[in-house]
Structure 1
Amino acid sequence: MKIFKKNSLKISDNKRTRAAELTLRESIYPLCLVTILFFLWGFSYGLLDTLNKHFQETLNITRSRSSGLQAAYFGAYPLASLGHANWILRHYGYKPVFIWGLCLYGIGSLVAWPCILHRSFGGFCAAIFIIGNGLGSLETAANPYLTVCGPPRYAEIRINVAQAFNGVGTVVAPVLGSYVFFKNTGEDLQSLKNVQWVYLAIACFVFLLAVVFYFSPIPEITDADMAFQAEETHAGTDVKPFRKQYRLFHAAFAQFCYTGAQVAIAGAFINYVTETRENTDSALGARFLAGAQGAFALGRFAGSAIMKFVRPRYVFLCYMTLCIVFIAPSITQRGNTGMSMLYITLFFESIIFPTIVALGMRGLGKYSKKGSGYIVGGVSGGAVVPPLLFAASDAQNSTAKAMSVPLAFFVAAWTYALCVNFVPAYRDVADKFTTTKIGVENAQANDEESQVRDGVMGEEIGKVESPMQTEHVDPEKKM
């Protein structure tokens, strides 16, 4: 039983673990492990966009009804990020949330098995709701974990690189769908069985990954760590009550609007190209969607590289503005021209979600875990905007005209990009974190607690396990 005691899933938030002060080298293993999760939900998200069109054809349902998949999937996010997952995060830590989310993902995938076989769209939506709770739990922990695990000045780069693998997952899923879901099997039942086997494979993989997470030495990051980080950068806003963290709430609003627009565009992409481009069936449309998601992934790698030399808030404003510029022509253009506009839009969508997470969490200090739930909860926009787009599409009998819906939500999200660049209360906090030396130089040299610890730990400070050595620094009760 010693191995289970060694891998305890509970740690006090009133203790400093030093994990928020990890160097780049020390943070490589936990970051690589967490990055696997980004591929998983990118793959799941890509499957959802493909299945949207697939169920329209195999179950003979309308476009607006098929958007129930997105509503079930993203509607689960606030329940996870503001409810059960955030409670576990604040009371136990990041690692338990990773395991919890993976287990929910696996359970939902198993529930999908009989629902698909019996052609139950409502049942499959219920399975997607469980999967959404699992992925919402993973995002509640993984996104903030990447922003705080390692040198703070590289937070936007870290989360965008990891999210690029999310983009890879969204490319793989439509390709799989084009050859498996839309395969000419001669009968819809066999086509649905193909979907069934995919979800069984997902369930097996995520349960195995949950075991790997349990036995992996993942450094825990506490509220005390984040309060120290905010204090050292002189950018902490956690001296104010949580209700006055206006930057956080604006970031959550921007996340709601942006994610809703992104999900709506991807969910309607196959409909768009099959309607506006001649000789394009659903299988070819799915391959075009894979190409568009490839542009999305490329945009993340490119954006991450640019952020090495340009301040992230500048890149964020540029990409957000160009999303608006290129989605607008897709409303009136058709054929290859309209599709190209969507390709370019997806390229510039790429860095927005993770950058909002990173910028929105700046300076939250002891409120970091609670605040991350609000930003990730903004993903619920994906449950609101796609039904609006598909309702407009059914009313106008044109998916192209309905692209005006995500355009409006892009403009609403743009307000946050403007504020973080031109409003001092937003801009100054972001800039102080980009110049901090924590995790880059010996930021602990003048910290008496660090000197005591270094004398005891000696050479072990370079090991992955070293950040887990804890000590009390804040006697106050957790918020």
Structure 2
Amino acid sequence: MAPSKPSKESAGNAIKKMPRLPSNAKVTKRPIMRPAIASPYAGKQEEKIVYVSSKMPFMSAVSRVRYLLKHVDKREMQSILEAKRKKSSELGLKPHQESEPVMLKATGKAIQKALSLAMFFQKQPEYAVKITTSSVQAIDDIEVPEGDDDIDLPEARLRQTSVVERLSTFRVCAIMLKSLYSRFSRRERQEIDEAKPTPPKLEQDDSQAVPLTARQAFTPLALITVSACLQGLTAGFSVTLNKHFQDTLHLNKLASTGLQVAHACAYLFGAPTFAHFVLRRWGYRWCLIMGLTIHALGALLFWPSGRLASFPFFCVSFFIMSCGRASIDMAETPYIALCGPPRYGELRINLIQGLKATCAVASAVLASYVVFADTSNRATTTQSLMYVYLADAVLGIILAGVFFFAGRYLPGGFPETTDAALEVQAANASCSWTARPLRKQVNLWLAVASVFCDDGSGAAILAFFVNFAMKSEGITARVATQRMSVAIATVTAGRFAAALLMAYFKPRHILLVFMTIALLLQVGASIPQTGPAGTWFLISEAFFRACVHVTVFTMGLKGLGKRTRLAAGFLTAAHCGGAVFAPITGAVSDRWGVRLGQVVPTIALGIAWLYPVWLNMGPLSKEIDELSKAVRGGDEEGHSGGCAIAGSDHAAVQKALAALQPFFAQRKPCSIFGSTDKIKGDAQHAALLNGIASHVHDYDDTHLDTIIHPTGPVASALLAWAQHQNDDTNGTPISGKQLLLALITGIEVECKLGLSVWPKHYDVGWHITGTVGSVGAAVAVCKLMSMTVPGASELQQKENTMVHAIGIAATQVTGLREMFGSDTKSFHVGRAAQNGLLAALLAEKGFTSSEKTLEAHRGWCNVVCETGSFKLNSYVEELGKAGKWEIEKNTFKPFPCGIVKHPAIDAAIRMREQIVAAAGETGLLAALKKLSFMALVHPLVLELTAKREPIDGLQAKFSVFHGVAVGLLFGKAGPAQYADDVVTDADVVAVRSLINAIGRPDLQRDEALLHAMDPENPPVDGNFPYSVHVEHAIGSIAAPMNQGQLQQKFTDQVTLRVGKDAARDMSEACFAILACEDIANVLNRF
């Protein structure tokens, strides 16, 4: 029956309810209709779609998407170049949300493949991925069998099928931007940088450096396990070669250690050189591929070595193969430790190494039957070994290919880690050594020494195990080799046993117990009186020292962050211990016998034993445990309301309630300064509002070394708490001397803390007054509490209240430089005062914080500036020392704007006097309009106050051009000159347009030059009509405002709000505060 297209009516009905079909009806699905595929050269008006089928190769779909996005990127860059040519700001770089997307669609069985592709692109930061679902209409043809024509069925039906769409938007190509960047002007480069989209941040479990679920980690760990097993096979054969070469080539014991020396030298050479380079540059997968390839090359060279029967050639071949094994170990061991939760790192690595030892047992047993099966025919034995290593080379090449294709074709590729992820993992536990320089990483270097000595001891024992067993028990070489197979088998059992125990006990405890028992057994083997039992001592020792090497390796990597890969190189290179201890053991055995030769590995093992002793009894033992636990990740989600109710009786909640409950009452004793109707508020809101008011005109003080405005947050918090305390019936009067002492203490701490992170903190983008102000306010309030609250001083010393107050304040860090020029800048000061007051109140009630808030790896200093770049200790030591007071470097502003532009304003006011003297007061404006002005200032002025055309008073505070203009026009630059109507005044705008500024690095911050010139008559030999050089601006350290000027500044500001008489009364009270016995008498006037 020929299929026909369904009518619109039947289609409409089919969408609502599909017709019921008899069991013998045959349904044939038609291909889903889709629009034609758009050309990659088509513009944004045509959708770019890649249709995914279940049979479509994975990388084919990836390549198609990348091809389409490459052309999208070209069109984006062409639009940028076009904008540059047309000099149009409207044609700049398009925002990321308007970028041209590529759609990837799939239905049915292909949906899973589409989701895998989405995950593939999501893991790459240059792509943004959005997944949506929808439905499309599909047509089924219905065939009715002969004889059932009476059934009323349509010939076709219309159904809905689900579709998964993966929307992939390509971000601007970094490579293309780099090649095109030089074509743009400075302003255009800035616009491009601002328009660049930020790579999406993927949520992950911060405790894992390689963030995978158990199922996701299975494939890479399985591949790693196969690689480890291949190494185990090689190791089992190599340990039997010494005895074979001694007999075949008639070597003494010292000479036969050439293989161990070659092996050790390969680790010493390969790990810190090319292996480390490849690991850092391309990651774990390529390091494994390189190691397997070099390993295979060395195994292939055993064929000519066997033909030539040359021991030096065998050593060269073994050296090359060991270089490959060094590269594999360099990537394999740390990857196993990092791939998954850190608390199971030692367990994972012991399990996989146990499987490796199992393969070593199998190869050792096989070697005992191959190498020593026919000791009369050495040529046959050597030829057998040649075939074994040929098979080893083939397996290595195959495995390298598996790793290569795993990164290309496995869904999600071969997971890697980054230095940033390693830093996050190290930061998840309080780790005191992470931020230390590499040379001071005691845990790492002790682990390196332990690995070196343990490897040397093990290599020496293995190299002469067969000789030792033959001498001790009087057995043949074949039986001795079989004994060695038993020893290697106990290694397997030991690693599995250690892995099992580490699931229940701390790894450092297991390491110490196992290594102590191993050392005692090694001592017993080296004593001549033990006789034949010495061999079994060594076999038992192998069980207990099985976990030593890999556990020490893992312990040594803990807490190193981005240095983990470099540390892995050092730990891997430490395998060269065999090059030192094996030859010494051979020499001693040749001279005094194999029994006394065991003294050398005993000494080496004893040195290695010191690391687990230090690990368990040293100062870092608890921190090692925390790093092993790390963060387990959130597996449960609770209802927030239920959690709040359940936690309401917690001690921390009760402490916070006790601190804040006094402010719940209707009593509001604290003054809101300047309110004409005498509004009162609670202490916290008074601190906030008064802090905002203290900075809103940018007319406060400045600590010149850090550009902190220190008094605003500290004084606002202090005055609010002082009024609240005074209103308390149990409160004692607070004197002016006590208030000033607390104020100075808070300012000193605030400025010292600012110096410790300056200038990195400010360069990053923090408003330093807001960030350090909360700490200064907390310290000041705590200091005032200790002097005025009965019993508070003793309680603070006992409970370490000040330390906890600093921690609570620091965790409320606030203030971004991006807010400069808006109301939020002054909000930073008010919030800092409020945060500091709250921190002191909570700490006084016993609320706790970290006692290493400032200096810890995840503490305040490392968070708000570059890690390790702060200088806290040196400035803390200066607190209270003569000649080191920061308050002596504090200055008061003569103009209500950023202090960096005060020298230019001062120069403009002085130049106005020169122009008025020449042109008269009435001719000033006309004279100014005939001139052009050049201000030479410190570069920081243009960095902070370069707004050319401010639109209101707030923006004018960040315009050096406005400051110079009002100085020239009015001869002053007070709050009135920063009013909105003055900023937009036509004369001010005209003069402002005549002013230019240049940054001069040779000028001091309080220095400026201002030149005026006639554009029609340029100056000759630098002779300007008017020129002013301000060496030290008014308000600087060298030219501070005097007492009279400060009182006048106070009166001028306050008069505008409360009148002249009240302003004079407030001024007299404030400037005599030192002699005040009760600060309430002063505060009640505000």
Same fold (TM over 0.5): yes
Q: 1:412 aligns with which of 589, 595, 607?
A: 607
| CA deviation vs aligned residue, 1:410-434 (integer Å, no higher than 9, x gap) | 1111111111101113x13311023
In 2: Cα distance, 1:375 partner to 1:428 partner: 23
1:436 has 2:644 as partner: no
With 20-29 and 315-324 compared, the bigger mean Cα shift is at 20-29
Going by fraction, where is helix more abundant, 1 or 2?
A: 1
1:173: how far off? 2.1
- The one-letter amino acid of 2:463's match is G
Q: How does 1:80-479 map to 2 (within 5 A)?
A: 80-184=270-374, 186-216=376-406, 217-235=413-431, 237-278=433-474, 280-331=475-526, 332-333=528-529, 335-396=531-592, 398-425=593-620, 427-438=621-632, 441=635
- The one-letter amino acid of 1:340's match is W
- The one-letter amino acid of 2:505's match is V
Backbone CA RMSD of aligned residues: 2.5
User: Is the 2:336–2:345 contact (alpha carbons within 8 Å) kept by the matching residues of 1?
Assistant: yes
1:234: how far off? 2.8
- The one-letter amino acid of 2:591's match is A
1:290: how far off? 0.3
In 1: Cα distance, 2:576 partner to 2:457 partner: 11
In 2: Cα distance, 1:400 partner to 1:441 partner: 57
- The one-letter amino acid of 1:351's match is C
Please identify the structure whose Cα radius of gyration is greater: 2
In 2: Cα distance, 1:298 partner to 1:130 partner: 30
Query: What is the identity percentage for the equivalent residue pairs of Structure 1 and Structure 2?
Result: 32
- The one-letter amino acid of 1:277's match is E
In 2: Cα distance, 1:16 partner to 1:418 partner: 42
User: Is the 2:210–2:415 contact (alpha carbons within 8 Å) kept by the matching residues of 1?
Assistant: no
1:188: how far off? 1.4
| CA deviation vs aligned residue, 1:226-263 (integer Å, no higher than 9, x gap) | 10111122337332222221211111011000111011
User: Counterpart of 2:216 in 1: which secondary structure?
Assistant: coil
User: Counterpart of 2:594 in 1: which secondary structure?
Assistant: coil
- The one-letter amino acid of 2:464's match is A
1:333: how far off? 4.2
Change (3 A) 1:439 1:260: farther
User: Counterpart of 1:220 in 2: which secondary structure?
Assistant: coil
User: Is the 1:238–1:367 contact (alpha carbons within 8 Å) kept by the matching residues of 2?
Assistant: no
1:37: how far off? 1.9
**TM-score, length basis structure 2:** 0.39
1:80: how far off? 1.6
- More RCO (CA 8 Å, sep 6+): 1
Count of residues in Structure 1 that have an aligned counterpart in Structure 2: 440
1:437: how far off? 3.1
Going by fraction, where is strand more abundant, 1 or 2?
A: 2
In 2: Cα distance, 1:15 partner to 1:391 partner: 62
1:374: how far off? 0.7
In 2: Cα distance, 1:284 partner to 1:336 partner: 14
In 2: Cα distance, 1:16 partner to 1:53 partner: 58
- The one-letter amino acid of 1:324's match is L
Change (3 A) 1:291 1:243: same
User: Is the 1:21–1:438 contact (alpha carbons within 8 Å) kept by the matching residues of 2?
Assistant: no
In 2: Cα distance, 1:43 partner to 1:379 partner: 18
1:328: how far off? 0.9
In 2: Cα distance, 1:230 partner to 1:408 partner: 34
User: Counterpart of 1:400 in 2: which secondary structure?
Assistant: helix
Structure 2 gap ranges (5+): 1-56, 64-119, 126-198, 407-412, 638-864, 868-1086
- The one-letter amino acid of 1:57's match is D
1:334: how far off? 5.0
| CA deviation vs aligned residue, 1:440-467 (integer Å, no higher than 9, x gap) | 8479xxxxxxxxxxxxxxxxxxxxxxxx
**TM-score, length basis structure 1:** 0.87
User: Is the 2:210–2:340 contact (alpha carbons within 8 Å) kept by the matching residues of 1?
Assistant: yes
User: Counterpart of 1:424 in 2: which secondary structure?
Assistant: coil
1:15: how far off? 11
User: Is the 2:227–2:399 contact (alpha carbons within 8 Å) kept by the matching residues of 1?
Assistant: no
User: Counterpart of 1:249 in 2: which secondary structure?
Assistant: helix
In 2: Cα distance, 1:57 partner to 1:291 partner: 23
In 2: Cα distance, 1:147 partner to 1:27 partner: 12
Name the counterpart of 2:11.
none
User: Is the 1:75–1:380 contact (alpha carbons within 8 Å) kept by the matching residues of 2?
Assistant: yes
User: Is the 2:237–2:367 contact (alpha carbons within 8 Å) kept by the matching residues of 1?
Assistant: yes
In 2: Cα distance, 1:164 partner to 1:87 partner: 29
1:53: how far off? 0.6
Change (3 A) 1:374 1:168: same
Change (3 A) 1:270 1:334: farther
With 255-264 and 237-246 compared, the bigger mean Cα shift is at 237-246
- The one-letter amino acid of 1:90's match is R
- The one-letter amino acid of 1:415's match is L
Change (3 A) 1:200 1:20: same
